[in-house]
Amino acid sequence: GEAVPSTAKGTDFGDMSAFVHGVVLGHGRISAGSVCSSRGSSLFSAGMTARSLSTSKPALNRSQRTSTPRMMADPIVNLEGKKALVTGIANNRSIAWGIAQQLKAAGAEIGVSYLPLSEKVEAKVKDLCKPLEPTLFVPCDVQKSEDVTNLAKTVEKEWGSVDIFVHCLAFANREDLTGEFINTSKDGFNLAMSVSTYSLVETSKALAPLMNNGGAIVTLTYLGSVKYVPNYNVMGVAKAGLEAAVRYLAAELGPKNIRVNSISAGSIRTLASSAIGGIQSMIKHVEEFSPLRRATTIDEVGNTAAFLSSDAASGITGQIIYVDSGYEIVGATINK
């Protein structure tokens, strides 16, 4: 997943909900641009509170809104007292990193699960995560069921329970991401589905019993699950499976007050996305033609993940939330 850099043999898609997340239409999908604050800012340090909405001050005009600093004392989302386990942090450009930062800003206690590739990788992730002050730092390779079991046991031993689980895990062999999808190898197909799709099912099964007071599970998807995207190939099928898994898990875990949602992030330059041929031109296209005329930031995705993890989203489950500068609504463009 997001914890693994691109390699000669494969590409990690966890931190990119895959490169140009966007154009998706259909049942159960929500465009959530209004959930996010302004570009790159935190929903929690500069939010509008219910108290502020009730004041009698006159509305600001457009220029005033643009130039007036937002200095609210209370955050929109409050996750104090909540324990959040985040997977897939690879570097400071990872979407998982953006999510973890915003969960921390909202007051959550953070736990980090990383892929134990080497001592060097472990040290790098641990150093990056110092500002999060994680009270859990647990290795987990989701291709090994014993690692998933150990992850749950460690959470139970150290925390007793968990309130939020952030799943940012996906992987596909590089050779299955070039040329035609029809040439996907069986082993490559099974690997992509196992890491990118089944891992959500297995980890949710392991952690759900520890969500004693209900909880929230958040994962990442991409428009390639419902639309053709060049070079995305087997990952598109894996993300389609992931979205279906979100709906089934939401239905089954709902009676336990556990909500399951996915974020389809917009175009973000990450280590994983850099491995996709033509990604730079795709991002430029989004920047030129999305309604907001820009790419999405990891902070914006993080803000939405924190919202979905909070009581403010207590009625939302089984949904695909688009955080993509509005690109999801675009049906056609005209070259300028």
Which residues are marked as active site? Answer: 222, 232
Cα 125 to Cα 103: distance, rounded to the nearest angstrom: 17
CA angle 230, 232, 237 (to 5 degrees): 125
In contact, 172 and 231? CB cutoff 8 Å? no
Report phi then psi at 264, rounded to 5.
Answer: -100, 100
Taking Cα atoms as reference points, which of 152, 106, 113 lies closest to residue 129?
Answer: 113
Q: Which residue has the tokens 């997977």?
A: 87
Q: How many residues are listed for the chain in this entry?
A: 336
Q: How far is CA 220 from CA 47, 76, 140, 223, in A?
A: 24, 23, 18, 11
Q: Is the dihedral of CA 212, 213, 214, 217 positive or negative?
A: negative
Q: Which residue has the tokens 């196992």?
A: 194
- H or E element in which residue 86 lies: strand 83-87
Taking Cα atoms as reference points, which of 331, 219, 336, 323 lies closest to residue 267?
Answer: 323
CA angle 198, 279, 292 (to 5 degrees): 95
Taking Cα atoms as reference points, which of 229, 92, 81, 74 lies closest to residue 160?
Answer: 81
